[in-house]
Amino acid sequence: MSVQGYSVAGRQISRRTRTGATDYRLVAVGIALIVAWVAIGVRLFQVQVVRADELAAMGLDQRLTVKELAADRGNIFDREGRELAITVDATTIYANPQQVTNPEVTSTLIAAALGLDADELFEKLSSDRSFVFLARQVEWQQAEPVTQLTQPGIHWYAEPKRVYPAGSMAAQVVGFVNIDNQGIEGLEYEYDEELSGYPGRLEAEQDPGGRLITFGEYDVVAAIPGSDLVTTIDREIQFVAEEVCEDTIARTAAQRCSVVVLDPATGEVLAMVTLPGFDPGNRSGADPDRFRNWTALSVFEPGSTQKLVTVAAALEESAVSWTTTFEVPDQIEIVDGACPDNEEVYGCFSDIAPHEPRIMSVKDIVTRSSNVGTILIGRELGEKNLARYLEAFNYGAPTGIDFPGEAAGQINLANGCQSCPASAAIGYSVSVTELQMAAVYATIANDGVWVQPHLVKEIVDGTGVRSPIDPKRREVVSAETARVVRLLLQSVVESDEGTGHGARVSGYSVGGKTGTTRRFVEGEGYSGDFVASFIGMAPIENPEIVVAVVVDAPYSDNTGGRAAAPAFAEIVERTLHQMGVAPDAS
């Protein structure tokens, strides 16, 4: 009994011992669970209450995509509303290489659809970047097969593209944009802010695969389209001028031909040509020199076309009348010892052909383009007055035309140069742009009032509000002086002794002046090439147009009368017909 009782007692004691241990462990586990639940509760409180806004924002940032929505760029039209530059819808294709699972297959498929290099695409799709462009501004017909692919990581969006329906016509005037539709040349650059408008913004939630989340965050701020430009350019007149310029290059083997056609009363540029040109929509491989608008950006010595200013100033100051006569030798020495043995050196000026001293009126001097006679007129005018009128006609300063980078030219008088006043009187010692000279002749055509040339007629904003351009104006000479000078210019063309026979136009009275100078190269001096020009107006009583033609480095027919005057005549005749200007009454 004692043994069992002990045994029983032992078992009882042992059972109590195990039960106590078990209870201890349960308590420990319970405490641990309570602690864990408390910790979880604290963490949940922090996540759901304390940091709820912060974490929600972090999650949204991971899902939210933000894109800038490009504004439609404004259009550029000619004066009749015909398109010179417009914006069309295109498709840009891009990729997230981190999402691309099979770059080799994907690159092969896209290359086949878009006609791109598969190896270049494979390199892009295998990169460690999260965004790469595959093709920018692709036409939808070409891009559509790519949008049908099921390859992950390939995305696309609509992007506006600039196109030029007129091709190379007026290319240097219109200019062009870069791949991001930012203007970098011509009017596209000058009016970039007005044309660009204001971009919009898209915010949307998307899943890791780049798909939009239904009912997710989605917010769009619409882009504001850019303003349209209505230019002063007339496409028909521009076409005529470009065609004639092209023929002139072929006829004379010149390096370049340029033309400006102005409306003298308004300052509107009806045509502005520089050839050879380029296609702004396909500039690949084009010589950057062809992008340059030579009519406004490049200077030259005007030569005899400058004589108009000397004569107009002398008439305005009553230094001479058109009947005033001079005894004109064939050579004049400005610097002592400059003309020994009739050798032409600096400071010695001669007429084109040798002749005995003869009595010449101002009209004769202009008609025959006598250098010596014009220098004598300049002496009557005086150096200070000549300089004053050169400035009044806007020499040495930009015209202020709405075009980037316009050159100012230069007046080379105030430097103590003994021969410079004589040089300036006949178109040397000054440099000008073709546009400046066209504006000078337009002043005479417009009864002595200089009008600032401009290329944009009006700006039309996205709501249709029109803002017309109001150019600057100022009187330079009287209407009577301008009328007399027009008659003198008419004699240059219509008189048998005139130098501008090639500028005659059947049915219309025309006036103008030839110019032939050596090309001056900065830092090198005069080259062997010529610059031939003719500038004039028609009809002479009430001019509707002024036309300036400059032929740079003609190989044959290298004078203004032979190289430029015939081009002037053809442009004038076809332009007046295009404008509906009736021939002169017989």
- Residue 306 or 352, more confident: 306
Tell me the mean pLDDT in the region 433-453.
98
CA atoms within 13 A on the CB side of 54: 5
Q: Which of 153-157, 209-213, 291-295, 318-322 has the lowest mean pLDDT?
A: 209-213
pLDDT per position as a tens digit, 92-112:
888 888 888 888 888 888 888
In the predicted model, is pLDDT for residue 531 greater than 80?
Answer: yes
Residue 219 bridge partners (DSSP): 203
In the predicted model, is pLDDT for residue 498 greater than 60?
Answer: yes
In the predicted model, is pLDDT for residue 48 greater than 70?
Answer: no
Q: Output the six-digit token pair for 37.
A: 């639940």
Please spell the DSSP secondary structure of 484-507, one letter per residue: HHHHHHHHHHHSTT-S-GGG-BTT
Task: Give the integer Cα–Cα distance in Å for 511 and 574.
Answer: 16
Task: Give the integer Cα–Cα distance in Å for 253 and 551.
Answer: 10
In the predicted model, is pLDDT for residue 484 greater than 80?
Answer: yes
pLDDT of amino acid 62: 54
Handedness of CA 487, 492, 498, 502 (dihedral sign): negative
Q: Output the six-digit token pair for 575.
A: 């332009």
In the predicted model, is pLDDT for residue 300 greater than 80?
Answer: yes
Residue in this structure with the two tokens 């009994």, named with its chain if needed: 1
pLDDT of amino acid 4: 46
The answer to whether 437 touches 302, Cβ cutoff 8 Å, is yes
pLDDT of amino acid 278: 96
Contacting residues for 20 by C-beta, under 8 A, at least 6 apart: none
In the predicted model, is pLDDT for residue 27 greater than 50?
Answer: yes
In the predicted model, is pLDDT for residue 192 greater than 50?
Answer: yes
pLDDT of amino acid 110: 87
In the predicted model, is pLDDT for residue 343 greater than 80?
Answer: no
The answer to whether 250 touches 555, Cβ cutoff 8 Å, is no
- Kind and range of the H or E run holding 51: none
- C-alpha of 488 from chain center: 37
Q: Which of 57-71, 283-297, 543-557 has the lowest mean pLDDT?
A: 57-71
Q: Output the six-digit token pair for 327.
A: 């005894």
DSSP state of 268: B
- C-alpha of 344 from chain center: 43
DSSP state of 381: H
pTM: predicted TM-score of the whole model, two decimal places: 0.83
pLDDT of amino acid 140: 81
Per-residue buried b or exposed e for 292-310, using 16+ beta carbons within 10 Å of the residue's own CB: bbbbbbbbbbbbbbbbbbb
pLDDT of amino acid 196: 92
The answer to whether 370 touches 311, Cβ cutoff 8 Å, is no
